[in-house]
Amino acid sequence: MRKTDSLQNLIWYLARRFTLFVGSLVAASALVFLLLRMLPGDLAQAKLGIEASPEALAQTRTEFGLNDSLILQFVKWLGNALSGDLGVSMLTGANIAQEIVNKATVTLPLIGLASVLALVFAIPLGMYSALNFRRRKGIGIAAISQLGIAIPTFWVGVILVTIFSVKFQILPSGGFPDAGWSSWSGCLESLVLPAITLALGQIAMLMRFARSATIEVLQQDYFRTARSTGLTRGQALRVHGVRNSLVPVVSVLGMQIATLIVGAIIVEHVFALPGIGQMLLQDVSIRDYTKVQGTVAATTAAVFFVSFLIDALLGFLNPKSRASL
């Protein structure tokens, strides 16, 4: 009886969370769509310039379906987008979805590498600072994390380039091998500095959560029991602390996914990496509106999807977290 209750509870939670996911997806794409319709003139005008002939304008309008009503245009665009078709670039005519997939081969490894680095460093550092709570070493680490949160990502990138590329010349200052992942060592090499740059801010942030989660573990009965069996604080923490501090840290990392993706845009700009972010900034500067729309919608969808997945996972693991929605 109780088991079915809990299952029902979980299904309800997932359903509510899924509604939020779909709702935010529709709202966000509507927002991007409407923002781009606020352009002075319209897309055809923006594409052809003010001196375009009325015939050419009319033809472009038909081509991009601009004569339909706003709602119909949106529904059409959303329907296509859901089936993976984001339309074509209004300047080059290239398939937007295809371009995003191509550029993702740079952006996704960058984000993945940065997340792994962040987790690998944040948890031990946070635990160490919790073990030395209110001692000089622990306070020192907390102070560094306070500083780390205040440092702008792009500045870290510039400083790392100064040290490792300009001064010691051991790592490339930017760029990405033209051959792509077929020369994977070159790719990894050019992702090292960007990934560290992206990870540092996250480490500073996640460390604080790892620290407070560990402090909580230290006060639990099971921790005292573990200590009483003869384990040292460090050993007991390795058994109980890692797993228990992993849950809040991973959920924070999930919430941070938006920050990570935006950070990736900045880091790609600093290191001239040909990823999604760099493409977006270029499209903004040449005013390729359909492509900006497609890229922003796809990126936002990715953010929403990841946070939905993480919430679903946490809801599955921890019934308490279901109450918040």
Partner 1 sequence: MNRNRNLFFGICLVAFSSTMALLSVLWTPYDPLEINPDISLAKPSWSHLLGTDVLGRDVFSNLLAGSRTTLITAFLVVMITMSLGVTTGIGAALSPRWFNRTAIYSIDIVLALPAVLFAIVLAAIRGPSTFTAVIAISIATAAAVAQVTRREVNVLLNSDYVLAARACNSNRLRIVRRHILPNIRASLFIQASGAASIAILAESTLSYLGLGTTPPAPSWGRMLASSQQYLIIDPIVALWPGLAIIFTVLGFNLLGDGLREALDPTLRKSKS
- Residues making contact with partner 1 (CB under 8 A): 20, 23-24, 27-28, 31-32, 35-36, 38-39, 146-147, 149-155, 158-159, 161-162, 166-167, 173, 258-259, 261-262, 265-266, 269-270, 280-281, 283-285, 287, 289, 292, 296, 299-300, 303-304, 307
* Cβ contact 211:142 at 8 Å: yes
Cβ atoms of 245 and 210 within 8 Å: the answer is yes
Distance (Å, rounded) from C-alpha 118 to C-alpha 286? 34
Q: How far apart are the first and last CA of the chain?
A: 24
Q: Which two tokens stand for residue 323?
A: 């109450």
Query: Of 148 and 248, which CB lies nearer to partner 1 in the complex structure?
Result: 148
Could you give the CA distance from residue 261 to residue 306 in angstroms, rounded to a whole number?
Answer: 11
Find the shortest distance in angstroms from Cβ 179 to partner 1: 26
With contact defined as beta carbons under 8 Å apart, do 292 and 280 qualify? Answer: yes
CB of 159 to partner 1, least distance (A): 7
Q: In this complex, which beta carbon is closest to partner 1, that of residue 60 or of residue 145?
A: 145
CB-side neighbour CA atoms (13 Å) of 52: 18
Q: With respect to partner 1, which residue has the nearer C-beta, 35 or 70? A: 35
Q: How far is the CB of 202 from partner 1 (least distance, A)?
A: 14
CB of 22 to partner 1, least distance (A): 11
Kindly state the smallest distance separating residue 277's Cβ from partner 1, in Å.
9
Instruction: Round to whole Å and give the CA distance between 126 and 128.
Output: 5
Closest CB to partner 1 among residues 19, 67: 19
Q: Which is nearer to partner 1, 106 or 226 (CB)?
A: 106
